[in-house]
Amino acid sequence: MRAETRRQLKQDKFSRATIQVAEQTVHWSVEHKGKIFAGSIVLIVVISAALGSWYYLEKQDEKASADFTKAVQTMNTPVRPAGMPPQLNEPTFGSGTERATEAHKQFQAIVNRYPHTRSADFAHYFLGVTSASTGDNVAAEREFKNVAGYHNSELSSLAKMALASLYLDTNRSQDGINIYKQLIHNPTQTVGKTAAEVQLAEAYKAAGNNTEAKKQYEQIQKEAPQSEAAEFAKSKLQEMK
C-alpha cells in the first residue's frame, strides 16, 4: 500500500472518530454553548497539533528510511582487490575501512536529521558496527550499549550480541560471556537461543575454558541434534579431542 494511501486512510479514520464524538455531544453543546466556546477552541488546537505532529513524523520516517537504505547499500558496496584502480561505472571502495568510514558518515547524518525515527534507532546500531570496523572501539561500545537499552527487543538483542563480541575482541571475555548467557535466557527472533549458545561456547573456547566450551557444545547437540548448529558443535568437539 502506498504511503499516501496509508496516510489518507489514517486521516479518514481520525476524522470519522472526531465527527462521531462531535455528534454525540451536540445536544449538550447547545445547552452549554456559552461555557464551552473557549474549551472548543482549545480542543481544536490540540487536535490540529496532534494531527500535524503525526503527519510530520510520518514524513520524517519516509525520508529517514530512504537515507537508511542508501547507507546500507554503501556497506554492501564491494571492496576492490589491492592494486585495482576504481571503475567508472561500478562503485567500489579501496578498503573495508574506507567503506565503513563512508557508511558511518551516512548513518550519523540520519541520526542528526531524523533523531526520533525508527531508522535512527537502527542507524545507531550501525554506527557501532562501523565504529568497530574502523577500530574505534570506544565509540562502538557506546553505541552498542545505547541500543542494547532500547525497548525494541529485536534490535536490543542484536546490539547485545555485537557488544559481547566487542568485549571478547578487547580481552573482556567474562563480560561477553555474561551477555551471551542473558541472550540464551531471553531469546528473540533476531538472536535465537541456539545462536547465543554457539557464541557462548566459542567465547569459552577463546578464553581457554575448554571444559565449559565442551559442555556447551554438547548441550547444543542435545537440544537440536539435526540442526546445522549441532553439526558445527560436533566438528568443534572433534577439534578439541
Residue type, 142: R
E strands in 70-186: none
Task: State the Cα angle at 156 between 150 and 161, rounded to 5°.
Answer: 150
> How far is 210 from 195, CA to CA, in rounded Å?
19
The residue-averaged pLDDT of 29-39 equals 41
37: its cell numbers: 466556546
Q: Which CATH superfamily is domain 152-241 in?
A: Tetratricopeptide repeat domain (1.25.40.10)
93, 75 contact by CB (below 8 A)? no
pLDDT band at 59 (very low <50, low <70, confident <90, very high): confident
- pLDDT (0 to 100) of residue 64: 86
Residue 82, CA atoms < 13 Å, CB-side half-sphere: 0
The residue-averaged pLDDT of 28-41 equals 41
Give 172-186 pLDDT, tens digit per residue: 999 999 999 999 999
Q: What is the 3-state secondary structure (H, E, C) of 111-129?
A: HHHCCCCHHHHHHHHHHHH
- pLDDT (0 to 100) of residue 94: 92
174: its cell numbers: 567474562
- pLDDT (0 to 100) of residue 45: 43
189: its cell numbers: 527472533
Residue type, 53: S
The residue-averaged pLDDT of 113-129 equals 91
- pLDDT (0 to 100) of residue 12: 45
- pLDDT (0 to 100) of residue 87: 81
203, 180 contact by CB (below 8 A)? yes
Question: What number of H helices and E strands is found in the chain?
Answer: 11, 0
Give 86-103 pLDDT, tens digit per residue: 887 889 999 999 999 999
Answer whether residue 113 shows pLDDT above 50.
yes
Give 205-239 pLDDT, tens digit per residue: 999 999 999 999 999 999 988 889 999 999 999 98
Give 135-188 pLDDT, tens digit per residue: 999 999 999 999 999 999 999 999 999 999 999 999 999 999 999 999 999 999
pLDDT band at 56 (very low <50, low <70, confident <90, very high): low
Nearest Cα neighbor of 122 from 182, 177, 162, 168 is: 162
Answer whether residue 241 shows pLDDT above 70.
yes
- pLDDT (0 to 100) of residue 57: 61
Instruction: Give the pTM.
Output: 0.74
